[in-house]
A and B are shown apart, each in its own frame.
Chain A
Amino acid sequence: MNINKTVCLIALISLILLIAPLAFSRDITNFLTFFFLYSAMSHMLNLLIGYTGMINLGFHGFIGLGGYMFAISCTIWGLNPLVSFLFSGAVCSLIAAAASFLIYKIRGLYFALGTIILASAFNAWFEIWTYTGGGYGMPVTTFIDPIIFYYGGLVITAISLFIVYLFIRAPKLRLKLMAIADDDMAAEVCGVAVFRTKFYCWVISSFMAGIIGSLWFSSFGYITPKSAFSISWTLIALTSLVIGGSRTLVGPIIGAFIITLIRQFFIVILPHVAPLLYGAILVIVLFLLPKGVWKYIEPIIKRLLS
């Protein structure tokens, strides 16, 4: 009965999400689009930080790179938008693969700073590259209809959730990931191919980051280095990951929901209060509920379903 009820719940939620733009108002559709993109970012960071233990603080680098690659391929070269989404993801994963020396040369906390430096190297490059307008930025091809962004965000979230699900569902891979997250040296001694596993996670998450970034900036319609490579992308994804609870499938979704609520509430009235609240919530959650909110919600939902 229990499994049936869970399946029914998931089916019901996905049905509601599928028909939401037709049934609900523009504001709710907009809110859900933001929520999808945030939760997709958060899922990808969950794969890296939660399951693999690679603290990647340079996630915004790939978001911005994806946005710029979309701008170049779709706006300047005039490619088909779908092709350019894939193109920007592919470029991001190629560059991530080229930068993969960060994974095996430096460990732990140094990796975190190395990724920040990588992202700001991208930032500096796009500020001097006149092909994309330098520091002034350039316009990006945009679709007028917000429903396209809604379904794009839905598809991207579903794909990233599915990727994380695949990673933790495969029995051997899950054990490998957990061993690496706990202690990568010990895992290597026990015969886990640490570099290869980390490399796959890194490249896949960068690919998805590229696609997410291209969707963001095609919805904004304009891209500048400052907005593309702002560290707040990483901060938002990280905060929603920590609030929801890392190393869980549902945690990032709940965190992204809370973050989107705060953002949509404050962004118009007091734009600086939203990041302030992210920081405060991050510290408070790490202090009081270090395992995230989902660990406390899960038993309640289970009791309701059974």
Chain B
Amino acid sequence: MIDIILMGIFVGSIYGMMGLGFSLIFTGIRNLLNLSYGQICILGSCLSLMFVTWLRIDPLLSLVIVLPIVFCIAYIMQYIFLNRVVLKEEHGTALLTTLGLALIIENLLLLGMGPDVVTLSAYASYSLLYIELGSINLPLSYLITFFASLLACIALYVFLKYTYIGRAIRATSESYLHAQLFGVNHKKTFAITFGLAGLMAAMSGIFAGFIYPFTPTYGFYYMEMAFFVLVIGGMGSIKGSFVGGVILGVIRSLACYYLGLPYARFIGNIAILIMLYIKPQGIFGWKV
């Protein structure tokens, strides 16, 4: 029982990171609901798999190569395609554009690597190592995942709080017109926000690929997770996202253990609908 909950917490940290990027886009880029977010997660894990098989390196090391690439792709997506629609105040058009981008990414990945179910953990030499804590056996990869995602969330918090670009991002999320008056280039800031969210997405995709198998068509499934975290944790609160992710992880691992995976998905979806019915603004409220 305790080890199931611990596993849930460790896996939940990935969901927390996923939801964090999603809510960063939502609060940072003028309430843009990004439907291509899940595909960016998958893009991260597929690129990582590509480099791992090509260069024969450790999946953790592939982060160094994959993250800059994903950052650039996300930056370009926002700067070229999305800035125009986002600044026109047409939420529907922006939503449909992200949907089109999601389709493009997903099917390019399908063309590139086929519909096979693959996993990254087969390429990590330590994926079979366990750590014994009393009577509990914990896989080492879960522990690495947990601490890495915790570190990433803290790093994002520090970045947003104390650097110039972080302040610019927070300013544009409040009002891009006022930020512009103070000399912030809002278009570049939007693009950097999307890039940062893409980093979180790619990292969570890689860590999820460490634990679970994946295929290019899992994108909308990942986005469901991110949305669940958003609903529990509330918008734009880093702490809320992380806690929301952990709650999701624990619920899912308990449901998986006692009922089976399809039940876990069903219970998760029903929980989101109930949450939307009772408290649409999330447990942690709407604070930045």
List residues of A whose CB falls within 8 A of some B CB: 49, 53, 55, 57, 99, 101-102, 105-106, 108-110, 112-114, 116-118, 120-121, 123-125, 127-128, 134-135, 231, 235, 238-239, 242, 270, 272-273, 275-276, 278-283, 286-287, 290
Contacts and interface: CB of A to CB of B under 8 A. Distances in A.
A116 B101 CA distance: 18
B266 A124 contact: yes
Contacts of A127: 262, 265-266
Interface stretch (B105-113, B116-124, B165-173): B105-113
Nearest to B219: A231
A270 B111 CA distance: 9
Contacts, number: 117
A128 B268 CA distance: 14
Contacts of B97: 282-283, 286-287
Contacts of A106: 276, 280
B99 A238 contact: yes
Contact of B269 (A124, A278, A280, A281): A124
B99 A55 contact: no
Contacts of A135: 262
Interface of B: 31, 33, 35, 81, 84-85, 91-93, 95-97, 99-104, 106-108, 110-111, 220, 224, 227, 260, 262-263, 265-266, 268-270, 272-273, 276-277, 280
21 contacts: A49-B92, A105-B280, A109-B31, A109-B91, A116-B224, A117-B273, A117-B276, A120-B220, A121-B269, A124-B268, A128-B260, A135-B262, A242-B96, A275-B106, A276-B104, A276-B111, A279-B99, A282-B97, A282-B100, A283-B104, A287-B81
Contact of A121 (B91, B92, B227, B270): B270
A120 B224 contact: yes
A55 B95 CA distance: 9
Main SS of chain A's interface residues?
A: helix
Looking at chain B's contact residues, the main secondary structure is helix
Contacts of A270: 111
B73 to A, nearest CB: 15
Nearest to B97: A286
B273 A235 contact: no
B100 A117 contact: no
Given A275-B107, A279-B107, A113 B96 contact: no
A258 B85 CA distance: 24
A242 B260 CA distance: 40
A113 B227 contact: yes
A238 B272 CA distance: 25
A281 B220 CA distance: 20
A3 B5 CA distance: 71
Contacts of A49: 92
A128 B263 contact: yes
Contacts of A278: 100, 103
A290 B93 contact: yes
Nearest to A101: B277
Given A112-B33, A273-B107, A280-B104, A117 B272 contact: yes
A150 B61 CA distance: 56
A201 B95 CA distance: 21
A55 B92 contact: yes
Contact of A282 (B103, B106, B265): B103
A283 B220 contact: no
A231 B31 contact: no
B103 A276 contact: yes
Contacts of A117: 224, 227, 269, 272-273, 276
A206 B257 CA distance: 35
Contacts of B280: 105-106, 110
A286 B85 contact: yes
A260 to B, nearest CB: 17
Contacts of B103: 235, 275-276, 278-279, 282
